Structure 1
Amino acid sequence: MLSPAAAAPTRPSLLGRFAHLPRETRDTLFLLVVVAWVILPQVAHLPVWASVLAAAVLVWRGWLALNGRPLPGRWWLVGLLLVTLAATWATHRTLLGRDAGVTLVVMLLALKTMELRARRDALVIFFLGFFAMLTNFFYSQSLPVAAAMLVALLGLLTALVNAHRPVGQPSLRESAWVAGKMALAGAPVMIALFVFFPRFAPLWGIPSDALTGRSGLSSSMQVGNVAELALDEGIAMRIKFDGAPPPQRELYFRGPVLTRFDGRNWTSRGGGDGFDAALAPGPADLQVSGEPIRYEVTLEPSNRPWLLTLDVAGAPLQLPANRHARMTADMQWLTYRPITDLLRYRAESHPQFRYGLTGWDQRPRRDFSADLQLPNGFNPRTLALADELRQSTGGDPDAVVRASLERLRTGGYTYTLEPGVYGQHTADEFWFDTKQGFCEHISSAFVVLLRAAGVPARIVTGFQGGEMNSVDGYWTVRNADAHAWTEVWFEGRGWVRIDPTGSVMPGRIGQYQRLRAPDGAIAGAIGTLSPTLLAQLRATWEAVNNRWNQSVLNYTQSRQFDLLKNLGFESPSWQDLARIIAGLLAAAALGGFAWARWERSQHDPWLRLLARARRRLDEAGIDTPPQAPPRALVQRVSQSALPPELRQQLTDWLLALERLRYAPAAAGSASLATLQRDFQRMAWPRQR
């Protein structure tokens, strides 16, 4: 007797239940899953209402398919469409443009599933899905997004192949296999077009600027409004040094120079992102010495015009052909339009340099009013401290700087990511009250103190430090490495870099001991099991992602022409690319023609001859079903209006064709070549 457990029926698995669904229900559910996968990466960029409505529509459509319910009427769809248009207008104030257009495409794709009644509707969904899949690259062209869209492509191709197999219930696995072979067959053409098709400006949209409230580089510096700094571990740039990298203490990558101060905000001399400063010439008194450091920078998109270089890059940068840049009077490199795609350039820097040597006692006399400016009514205690320093040091700039740094070292000041919100007098609160902050607080308070003591000073922002990726050898600089330091003007030496953060936290400069955000639960568990495993996994992933960036996203026109030079072209041009593309397309066409001829020759010649006979009988007005064998065709020929002699010839010929197939050893059976000649010699009546 069986036990109760053994007697209980085995519940089929989820895949088993899915496989036994009716054909229409199964195919609909599969298509809905593919559509959801296409839409999923867009959730971060869609309005909340669009994501919720699209999910509700897809779930509703799946419920209707599972329960065999009828689809909603046309007025339901018209109402949902009007709601979508109104909500899109209310959100974006337009129905055009990137964001509004993507919202509409996603919603139309979801709503179209409610009209999935025939194969024609499915084809519309397929092509909408292909277009929606491409819109994901408007926001990101990263390797994970590309991998996700490859899966979406295979899913849509599988559904497309399945829709063209209307008879029976073919498995999705077979359709996926056919779709995979189609993708592989098209891969060589895709790769050839990627390599040789002329490179134009980026086709995709501008990434959003989301630096506010996170660590990173900005065009201005607001002191005291951020209570807690969130470290952004995203990569800002990658550096490949030609030789050994310099020590970490010298890795200062220069960005915007901030001079103007209104009591809370620091901005550049021009007051904007730096486009106006780009018109100013670089410093005429720049002096460099020592061996230069040569390196290659791969800069991530920032929607800013800044080109980050090591202090100081005096020689022109080697940029792609469609990019131009120049150095400003503050030693910052700027390009003439924002960087919205991955940019690679080469630079040459000299860590030993001097500039800004022109002073008050020389001609032309330098104007330091902007570098001494302080707003009225702010930081009275800092101003009093500056008077004390000036009196105790006799106003000597070197002595003032040394005394200020000594105060930072010995006054109990701390470097923290949680300084709290500052009030109106930010420098006073740092020097006398909280005594804590991150690099922005420290640099701002330091410059305010020096300016109050009569020493010209300003803030320089950029990146400091970085870490070597042990997998690919690139030096990785993250947004969390964003830093602010100061430059102080000394008579006879010009502008000199002084980093006051090093006096508060020496490990931040040179030893890469910057503060880090706490690890999550999974990362913490991995770190507990193996302290080096998490770092190795991240290094491996970043090396793979860097290879994607270098080989795919940063495949520029110059690299394309370099490839042509390696192929033997002395002076590559667009004409050469056009000739290569034309040759490849011609070769692909000839290859496809040869493949079609070969494949056709592999078909059963007996079936081809029978099909030829059917076509000729159809032209003579005789109905011949595709599945009819030769003996059935004989019956139709005998009942036709063809001449008696031709009817007899066809009857004998069709019976001989049948014997050749099913009784080839029988006496008197003709060969296939003989039957082909006999068929060609038949005298068919002329068609009117």
Structure 2
Amino acid sequence: MKLPLRRSASSRENWTATLPRDTRDTLFLLAVIAWVVMMQVPHIPGWCSALTACVLVWRASLTLRGRPLPGWRWRIGLLLVTLAATWWTHKTLLGRDAGVTLIVVLLALKTLELRARRDAFVVFFLGFFTLLTHFFYSQSLLTAAGILVALLGLLTAVVNAHMPVGHPPLRQTAGIATRLALLGAPIMVVAFMLFPRLSPLWGVPGDGMDGRSGLSGKMRVGQIAELVLDDRIALRVRFDGPVPPQRELYFRGPVLTDFDGVEWKPLRSTFPPHMELQANLTFAGEPIRYEVTMEPNHRPWVFVLEAATQAPELQGLKAFMTPELQWFVRRPVTELVRYRAESHTRFRHGPLEPSLALQDQIALPAGFNPRTLAFAQELRREHGSGPQSAPALIEAALNRLRTGGYTYTLDPGVYGQHTADEFWFDRKEGFCEHIASSFVILMRALDIPARIVTGYQGGELNAVDGYWTVRQRDAHAWAEVWLQGQGWVRVDPTSAVSPSRIGSFERLVAPQGAIGAALGTLNPTLAQQLRDVWEAVNNGWNQWVLNYTQGSQLDLLKNLGFESPSWTDLAYVLIGVVVLVSLAGAAWALWERQQHDPWLRTLARVRRRLAALGIEAGEHATPRELARVASAQLGDELFTQQLSAWLLRLEALRYAPHSPDTLAALQKQFQQMSWPERQATP
């Protein structure tokens, strides 16, 4: 029995070569469009992906079978279906998401009327425009790599459209497209570095808050635990000096005070402004200086190491601090931002003496957690009450967490109405927000002002680029209690349950995918090294490309010698570069014209000399044709024989396999010829 032979690469190329030129080019263009659309699948509705795939498969089938394209009724019908489905999905035909949905479907539908070169060019332009829409959702290095592949594919299709004669292989046209892209790369780099930066470049007003990730401005028990399933990067931090100990890496975020029994929210004080709590921040020791690269979080806050004494230096954004030491900006952060900050890990804040505004920090809703309230009464009987007993009561609660069999876990189950009661007496297990919320409720039941602070704690060092990487899974919740004479004091009850969570690199990690788990099992060190390298490359992309801001442009001018650069200086430099590039292009064109095919230039000289004698042989006449015309019209037989022999040798030099002549020798003989003085006979 004969086994089927595997088709080799050369046979596949031969199969491609047997296709008609139009069929091959159409299939290639459809493949490129499929790649462009596939990158948008995570951001478009499912029906849009399915409809686009069906249209592209339908168009490919019609091409392979040589069937006619569908009529206008089909196209109008599909367009109406698209408009109705877009309206049903997005409730509008305008805006980012609805616009991207429409442009993707229109790109596919345009292939159903791909009959002439004009239609092909429309498809090309729609494809390039669709490529740009990818940056509405992601500007990562992986997205840029995918767009580069699609760009080269579209350029190859454009080159194909400009080579209508013959059957040029795709390898050849792809090579031309790649060379064109490389020739345009220097211009792209100069424009990127000098063209005025618009911020945000890819933001669209009214995009909404869809797709948000990370910490929220409110907290429900169990919410932060969900972030452990998200391994994406939230912050990258580079310290100017030594890195503080792991236990001091608290990146402060939203402070939550109001509690309705189910959810924690920021404070909505009922006191007049002059009676509200003030920051009263004081600090000691040397500051820690660092630089933060924060991923977009679609919220108007920035994260700093506790506690920042000065406003972070953000390009184009002004930060301000609330009395709870949280830093805000005027608009949501929808793009990668980089800022410098300095913090003191030894600090004190808040009032030192009792204040009426502290009543907001001990309020509890009625009808929730009765057993916790009873437990608070027991602690009071054992350790006393009043401000002087607060340290002993706090230590008693922490000691119960240490010795009461409590467990730090990612999956504590679903909590009911009385979350603190279930934690303290029933489940005795939970994630950081279970522990912090139950601890703060107990403190308030003891009449000790307390609140929840959320943010990020810890992180890990990337050994490749030296940046401290803070991920979404490092999201954390801790408590602050108010003590007379000390102000607000950080108390992290999670450290009492699981000291390793705060004091080392140990984290609760979500289950990995099959590939990551297999690689980590076979060689954990290699898996970590590959991850560090990839994240370092992405960080370089973020620092040098995505975070190349207006300030970076002015810094570039400073490096070029401008003392106080302005936008006028930037415009002058850009104009100067454009002029220099234009002059260089003109010089190159002149040089290229002079360096044209020397054989053709020699033949053109013969044609011009014959024209001077009144002999017109045509612009594209071959040497043999010129010899025939000269023999017929020139009266000097000896010169005619000499010129004809020379022209035949020139032709042989071009087309014969092995010619004894050289072009230089033939050119020298041409210069030595004695041309007749008389005009050619009529």
CA contact under 8 A between 1:227 and 1:421: conserved in structure 2? no
In 2, Cα distance between equivalents of 1:490 and 1:625: 102
Q: Which amino acid aligns with 1:289?
A: A
Q: Which amino acid aligns with 1:20?
A: T
Q: State the identity %.
A: 59
CA contact under 8 A between 1:254 and 1:308: conserved in structure 2? yes
What's 2:61 paired with? 63
What's 2:458 paired with? 465
Q: CA RMSD in A?
A: 3.5
CA contact under 8 A between 1:387 and 1:453: conserved in structure 2? yes
In 2, Cα distance between equivalents of 1:113 and 1:279: 67
What's 1:644 paired with? none
Structure 2's unaligned 5+ residue stretches are: 651-660
In 2, Cα distance between equivalents of 1:517 and 1:227: 10
What's 2:500 paired with? 507
CA contact under 8 A between 2:627 and 2:647: conserved in structure 1? no
In 2, Cα distance between equivalents of 1:68 and 1:278: 78
What's 1:339 paired with? 333
Q: How far apart are residue 357 of structure 1 and its match?
A: 2.9
Q: How far apart are residue 611 of structure 1 and its match?
A: 7.3
Deviation per CA, 1:86-117: give whole Å up to 9, x if none.
Answer: 11111112211111111111111111111121
In 2, Cα distance between equivalents of 1:29 and 1:334: 52
Q: How far apart are residue 406 of structure 1 and its match?
A: 1.2
In structure 2, which of residues 350, 361, 377 is the aligned counterpart of residue 371 of structure 1?
361
What's 1:390 paired with? 380
Q: Which amino acid aligns with 2:536?
A: A
- Structure 1 residues 284 and 482 mapped into 2: Cα distance closer, same or farther (>3 Å)? closer
- Structure 1 residues 61 and 553 mapped into 2: Cα distance closer, same or farther (>3 Å)? same
In 2, Cα distance between equivalents of 1:444 and 1:119: 66
- Structure 1 residues 385 and 281 mapped into 2: Cα distance closer, same or farther (>3 Å)? closer
In 2, Cα distance between equivalents of 1:136 and 1:437: 40
In structure 2, which of residues 296, 303, 308 is the aligned counterpart of residue 301 of structure 1?
296
In 2, Cα distance between equivalents of 1:225 and 1:315: 31
Deviation per CA, 1:244-265: give whole Å up to 9, x if none.
Answer: 1000000000000000000001
SS of corresponding position for 2:580: helix
Q: Which amino acid aligns with 2:648?
A: Y
SS of corresponding position for 1:418: coil
Q: Which amino acid aligns with 1:495?
A: W
CA contact under 8 A between 1:293 and 1:348: conserved in structure 2? yes
Q: How far apart are residue 158 of structure 1 and its match?
A: 0.8
Q: Which amino acid aligns with 1:148?
A: G
- Structure 1 residues 282 and 341 mapped into 2: Cα distance closer, same or farther (>3 Å)? farther
What's 2:436 paired with? 443
Q: Give the TM-score of the pair, scaled to structure 1.
A: 0.87
Q: How far apart are residue 205 of structure 1 and its match?
A: 3.0
SS of corresponding position for 1:603: coil
In 2, Cα distance between equivalents of 1:678 and 1:121: 57
Deviation per CA, 1:470-497: give whole Å up to 9, x if none.
Answer: 1010000000000000000000000000
Q: How far apart are residue 606 of structure 1 and its match?
A: 6.2
In 2, Cα distance between equivalents of 1:572 and 1:655: 73
In structure 1, which of residues 439, 453, 476 is the aligned counterpart of residue 446 of structure 2?
453
In structure 2, which of residues 489, 499, 512 is the aligned counterpart of residue 496 of structure 1?
489
In 2, Cα distance between equivalents of 1:234 and 1:47: 23
In 2, Cα distance between equivalents of 1:33 and 1:278: 63
What's 2:239 paired with? 241
- Structure 1 residues 392 and 564 mapped into 2: Cα distance closer, same or farther (>3 Å)? same
In 2, Cα distance between equivalents of 1:228 and 1:144: 25
Q: How far apart are residue 210 of structure 1 and its match?
A: 6.5
- Structure 1 residues 654 and 632 mapped into 2: Cα distance closer, same or farther (>3 Å)? farther
What's 1:431 paired with? 424
In 2, Cα distance between equivalents of 1:86 and 1:279: 55
What's 1:686 paired with? none
In 2, Cα distance between equivalents of 1:613 and 1:413: 100
* The 10-residue stretch of structure 1 (61-70 or 247-256) with the greater mean CA deviation from structure 2: 61-70
What's 2:656 paired with? none
In 2, Cα distance between equivalents of 1:491 and 1:669: 103
Q: How far apart are residue 625 of structure 1 and its match?
A: 8.1
What's 1:642 paired with? none
Deviation per CA, 1:500-542: give whole Å up to 9, x if none.
Answer: 0111111111112121012222122212221211111111100
Deviation per CA, 1:576-623: give whole Å up to 9, x if none.
Answer: 1111111111111111111111111122366468779999x99xxx99
SS of corresponding position for 1:546: helix
Q: Which amino acid aligns with 1:483?
A: H
CA contact under 8 A between 2:320 and 2:328: conserved in structure 1? yes
Structure 1's unaligned 5+ residue stretches are: 272-276, 640-646, 684-688
In structure 2, which of residues 556, 581, 591 is the aligned counterpart of residue 598 of structure 1?
591
Q: How far apart are residue 391 of structure 1 and its match?
A: 2.1
Give the total of aligned pairs. 654
Q: How far apart are residue 20 of structure 1 and its match?
A: 2.8
Deviation per CA, 1:1-27: give whole Å up to 9, x if none.
Answer: xxx649x87755544423332211111
Deviation per CA, 1:377-432: give whole Å up to 9, x if none.
Answer: 11111111112212221111111111111111112211111121111111111111
Q: Which amino acid aligns with 1:317?
A: P
Q: Does 1:516 align with 2:509?
A: yes
Q: Does 1:28 align with 2:21?
A: no
In 2, Cα distance between equivalents of 1:654 and 1:182: 47
What's 2:308 paired with? 313
In 2, Cα distance between equivalents of 1:670 and 1:229: 82
In 2, Cα distance between equivalents of 1:454 and 1:542: 47
Q: Give the TM-score of the pair, scaled to structure 2.
A: 0.88
Q: Which amino acid aligns with 1:662?
A: L
In 1, Cα distance between equivalents of 2:252 and 2:448: 22
Q: Which amino acid aligns with 1:55?
A: A
In 2, Cα distance between equivalents of 1:280 and 1:605: 91
Q: Which amino acid aligns with 2:321?
A: M
In structure 2, which of residues 554, 573, 582 is the aligned counterpart of residue 589 of structure 1?
582
Deviation per CA, 1:165-206: give whole Å up to 9, x if none.
Answer: 111100000101111110111111100111111112122136
SS of corresponding position for 1:509: helix
In structure 2, which of residues 471, 479, 484 is the aligned counterpart of residue 486 of structure 1?
479
- Structure 1 residues 648 and 211 mapped into 2: Cα distance closer, same or farther (>3 Å)? closer
Deviation per CA, 1:360-385: give whole Å up to 9, x if none.
Answer: 2xxxx451111011111111111111
In structure 2, which of residues 637, 640, 648 is the aligned counterpart of residue 662 of structure 1?
648
What's 1:182 paired with? 180
In structure 1, which of residues 280, 287, 290 is the aligned counterpart of residue 285 of structure 2?
290
In structure 2, which of residues 27, 48, 51 is the aligned counterpart of residue 50 of structure 1?
48
CA contact under 8 A between 2:631 and 2:644: conserved in structure 1? no
What's 1:258 paired with? 256
What's 2:654 paired with? none
Q: Which amino acid aligns with 1:392?
A: E
CA contact under 8 A between 1:630 and 1:655: conserved in structure 2? no
In 2, Cα distance between equivalents of 1:345 and 1:282: 28
What's 1:19 paired with? 17
What's 1:167 paired with? 165
Q: How far apart are residue 131 of structure 1 and its match?
A: 0.6
Q: How far apart are residue 571 of structure 1 and its match?
A: 0.6
CA contact under 8 A between 2:352 and 2:483: conserved in structure 1? no
